[in-house]
A and B are shown apart, each in its own frame.
Chain A
Amino acid sequence: MELIYLLFILALSVFLGFALISRVPPLLHTPLMSEANAICGIIIIGALIAAGAEANSPLTIILGTSAVALAAFNVVGGYLVTERMLKMFKKKS
């Protein structure tokens, strides 16, 4: 039953994604992509649980900590670079 419920969420999210993203103008496709990178860093919540759960082997510590670092890199790098790009788009004064 849980699987069905997760697939349900999947189907609606894909639909939502298509609806939202097809309305982004080509002008902003590069910031859109870096924004997508940033939100893809949401894997950080999985990484936090992996790194913060009771450690049972050095391998899980290494994997978990690297995952946190990589995801944090995505989140911070993605949002900051998107902000930097969006700041440059100006209308004619």
Chain B
Amino acid sequence: MNNEFFMNFVYIISSVLFAFGLKFLGSPVSARRGNMLSSLGMFLAVLATLCSGHIISFQWILIGIIIGASLGALVAFKAAMTQMPQMIALLHGCGALASVFVGWTAYQVHGVRDLTNAITLFLSIVIGGLTVTGSGIAWGKLSEKITGKPILFTGQKWLNGAIMTAILILGIMFIINPARYDLFLIILGLSLFFGIFMVIPIGGADMPVVISVLNSYSGVVACTTGFVIHNTLLIVVGSLVGANGMILSIIMCKAMNRSIANVLFGAFGSVVKKTGTDEKKEAKSISVEDAFLILENAKSVVIIPGYGMAVAQAQHAVRELSELLEGNGCDVKYAIHPVAGRMPGHMNVLLAEANIPYDQLMEMDAINPLMETVDVAIVIGANDVVNPASRHDKSSPIYGMPIINADKAKSVFVLKRSMATGFAGIENELFYYDNCRMIFGDAKQTLQALVAEFKSSQHR
């Protein structure tokens, strides 16, 4: 009894430390301290559990911890910042799988005690199961092992509906008669299946939402597992993580002006037909030399990065150019759209890695009122997030989506490989504006060419 009291007391301390960890993430200055406090909370919780008297044999624990911790450390140090989205997806999947196993063990050893136990166990394996395979597919899509395009087939919605109904019916049967081990296994299997079919129809650029939703689910699973094994700390942390994923999903959806249901079930980009190509306009291109002459005289430049910057690995070249511009007396800022990249905050991490100070990174709402005073906006590998059609063209699929108003700048340079459309599959009318010039080619090479121009002019 005393041990139990001690353990729960430490759990309270851990919860407080986790809460402080998240609170300190409110500012980049205190964030590292927060991470430290949070990991201290984790350490205490593990220690208290080990000393609680619940644990009789340590050998399997030791083996598990050694394997898990060393793999975790290896992956954490080796993963490149461009690979962060798939790393996060992998972590979601592992956390959910661990929760499923914990729930399963509890069922195997203790069976089901009461109705609450049966319901939470059911929820735990369903949400856990679909999070495991859903994260697996998301990981595959993000690391490009599976195509990033939506995978669609006829009857997909019917199949999903059928699986969902089956899970629900079997679930009710299981809750009524929780001794049915076969039902438990079938529900788990169906949920694993469902996770696959849930994520394959979702395209690459919608991944920020998918990752956030899976993040939320991984929290919910921890929470329901907490109900299964009557552990308060799991409930507290599960709710924190669940709330986290939910908030991020809402932010991402708002930034795309779409509902979560539309992202998860809509298969955007696949159904949209090409529109608005009635009159063929000519986009004007510009050479690197001429672009340099304009940049040399610019007093303020805003750089708008997108996923294309990450693909071209251009972030270091971007930093080099922006340092030269600043040396030339120009004010350089970065405008970051919430859904730029493949996960929330992806661009910020890439730019921070390239040693760009975070006070230069501006949010969309902060930069938009200033855009009219900007001399040059440089769009690097972004497309839909700067399409002005979203402001006025009611027929456009992205109508109403908040964008960075690149077109309001005095001149706009778009670094792009070709005139291919962005994720939404629609033409970007920005490219045909009078103040817009295209610089075709690989973004990294273009930036390096601009840097070379700057350097040679300084030697002259």
B73 to chain A minimum Cβ distance, whole angstroms, is 5
Residue of A nearest to B346 (CB): A30
Query: B1 at the A/B interface (Cβ < 8 Å)?
Result: no
* B95 & A43 in contact (Cβ 8 Å cutoff): yes
* A76 & B344 in contact (Cβ 8 Å cutoff): no
B355 to chain A minimum Cβ distance, whole angstroms, is 7
- Taking CB atoms, residues of chain B closer than 8 Å to A52 are 50, 54-58, 60-61
Query: B159 at the A/B interface (Cβ < 8 Å)?
Result: no
| A42–B23 CA distance with the chains assembled, in angstroms | 18
- Taking CB atoms, residues of chain A closer than 8 Å to B75 are 73, 77, 81
* A31 & B21 in contact (Cβ 8 Å cutoff): no
| A50–B18 CA distance with the chains assembled, in angstroms | 23
B289 to chain A minimum Cβ distance, whole angstroms, is 30
Residue of B nearest to A75 (CB): B42
Most buried by B among A61, A74, A77: A77
Most buried by B among A2, A14, A26: A26
Query: B441 at the A/B interface (Cβ < 8 Å)?
Result: no
Given the interface pairs A13-B235, A31-B345, the reply to whether A72 lies near B64 with Cβ below 8 Å is yes
Q: Tell me the dominant secondary structure on chain B's binding face.
A: helix
| A52–B105 CA distance with the chains assembled, in angstroms | 11
* A36 & B73 in contact (Cβ 8 Å cutoff): no
Query: B234 at the A/B interface (Cβ < 8 Å)?
Result: yes
- Taking CB atoms, residues of chain B closer than 8 Å to A86 are 28, 31-32, 35
- Per-residue CB proximity of A61-93 to B under 8 Å, as 1/0? 101111111111111111111111111111111
* A38 & B42 in contact (Cβ 8 Å cutoff): yes
* B234 & A85 in contact (Cβ 8 Å cutoff): no
Question: Which of these, B31, B106, B222, contacts A89 with CB under 8 Å?
Answer: B31
Question: Which of these, B22, B87, B222, contacts A24 with CB under 8 Å?
Answer: B22
- Taking CB atoms, residues of chain B closer than 8 Å to A16 are 19, 239-240
Number of interface residues of A (CB under 8 A): 82
* A48 & B50 in contact (Cβ 8 Å cutoff): yes
* B61 & A10 in contact (Cβ 8 Å cutoff): no
- Taking CB atoms, residues of chain A closer than 8 Å to B73 are 76-77, 80
Question: Which of these, A18, A30, A67, A84, contacts B105 with CB under 8 Å?
Answer: A67
* A85 & B349 in contact (Cβ 8 Å cutoff): yes
* B243 & A83 in contact (Cβ 8 Å cutoff): no
A71 to chain B minimum Cβ distance, whole angstroms, is 4
Residue of B nearest to A81 (CB): B76
* A37 & B345 in contact (Cβ 8 Å cutoff): no
Given the interface pairs A40-B241, A60-B109, A70-B68, the reply to whether A34 lies near B102 with Cβ below 8 Å is no
- Taking CB atoms, residues of chain B closer than 8 Å to A76 are 68-69, 72-73, 76
- Taking CB atoms, residues of chain B closer than 8 Å to A6 are 226-227, 230, 232, 235
* A92 & B77 in contact (Cβ 8 Å cutoff): no
Interface on B for A, CB 8 Å cutoff?
14, 18-19, 21-23, 25-29, 31-32, 34-35, 38-39, 41-42, 45-46, 49-50, 54-58, 60-61, 63-65, 67-69, 71-73, 75-77, 79, 81, 84, 87-88, 91-92, 94-95, 97-99, 101-102, 104-106, 108-109, 116, 211-212, 215, 218-219, 222-223, 225-227, 229-245, 247-248, 251, 336, 338, 343-346, 348-349, 352-353, 355, 357-361, 363
| Apart from A17-B241, A30-B349, A36-B219: 15 A-B pairs, beta carbons within 8 A | A16-B19, A18-B243, A21-B22, A25-B27, A31-B31, A32-B345, A33-B88, A34-B84, A43-B102, A47-B101, A66-B97, A70-B101, A72-B69, A84-B76, A89-B352
**Could you give 17 example pairs across A and B, Cβ below 8 Å?**
A26-B338, A26-B345, A27-B28, A33-B244, A33-B248, A39-B42, A40-B218, A55-B60, A63-B105, A68-B68, A73-B71, A73-B91, A79-B38, A83-B32, A83-B35, A89-B358, A90-B355
Interface on A for B, CB 8 Å cutoff?
2-3, 6, 9-10, 13-14, 16-18, 20-57, 59-61, 63-93
